[in-house]
Chains A and B, each alone.
Chain A
């Protein structure tokens, strides 16, 4: 956990970076999802298995979870006080990390393994 001068402005800037990248990535995900002819397993697996789409999904997942953690962190800092703050921040980090690992594993299987 880095502290000291610059950490707040770094956090602020990083949050804008993930926000800006989520404009195209979020639009890509939602519009592609809505435009799928059906959401059967073969269709969805085929969608994410094409290399450019796998890459976009990795970028989307990373930006989404990072931006989500940054946002949750800001809300917790505003409304949670004292020792509970540190605990809740830790829980948020662990949950987001777990989701990132699950997502990375899932995309790896979809892209390279067929069905696990």
Chain B
């Protein structure tokens, strides 16, 4: 890890005209922060597994509550969004897709992929159906 003072910062948004590509970029950051928080839920869940069936039962009750099911369903959405948006960012880093038209098109494709993957995993997998409250 390194000292932060000399690194380039995010641009000041107020000088730009708002475009939906900017919203997508902001969503990438927000989904990343959300997934960071969920990484701690993952560590807690694994601790509960290691502590044995009694502790794990408590964790299951916690994660099965309606608020936590919403939190986890959002985590699933954030995962798919951050994955596809991240691939788009990596393509930019490699020098592809910088043209304005390309960036808008890849943004739409990425969003559609993320939405589709979220819908499929929520409706068609056992854990997804549990989160969605489906039998």
Q: List residues of A whose CB falls within 8 A of some B CB.
A: 1-3, 7-8, 10-11, 16, 19-20, 22-23, 26-27, 30, 33-39, 41-42, 44-45, 48, 57, 61, 64-65, 68-69, 71-73, 75-78, 85, 89, 93, 95, 99, 102-103, 105-107, 109-110, 115-116
Residues A72 and B33 in contact in the complex (CB < 8 Å), given A7-B3, A103-B46: yes
Within 8 A of A (CB), among B43-77: 43-44, 46-47, 49-53, 56-57, 60, 76
26 A–B contacts, CB within 8 A, in A order: A1-B3, A2-B3, A3-B6, A11-B7, A19-B86, A26-B79, A26-B83, A30-B79, A34-B126, A34-B127, A41-B53, A41-B56, A41-B57, A42-B53, A48-B46, A64-B42, A68-B35, A71-B29, A71-B33, A71-B36, A75-B29, A77-B7, A102-B43, A103-B47, A105-B50, A109-B50
In the complex, how many angstroms separate the beta carbon of B26 from the nearest chain A beta carbon?
Answer: 11
In the complex, how many angstroms separate the beta carbon of A42 from the nearest chain B beta carbon?
Answer: 8
Residues A99 and B43 in contact in the complex (CB < 8 Å), given A78-B10, A106-B49: yes
Q: Say what secondary structure dominates the interface of chain B.
A: helix
The closest CB in chain A to the CB of B53 belongs to A41
Most buried by B among A1, A41, A75, A78: A41
For A7, what are the chain B residues with a Cβ–Cβ distance below 8 Å?
Answer: 2-3, 6
Q: A2-B1, A105-B50, A115-B52 are in contact. List 8 more A-B contacts (CB 8 A).
A: A20-B90, A23-B86, A41-B49, A41-B56, A48-B49, A72-B36, A77-B9, A106-B46
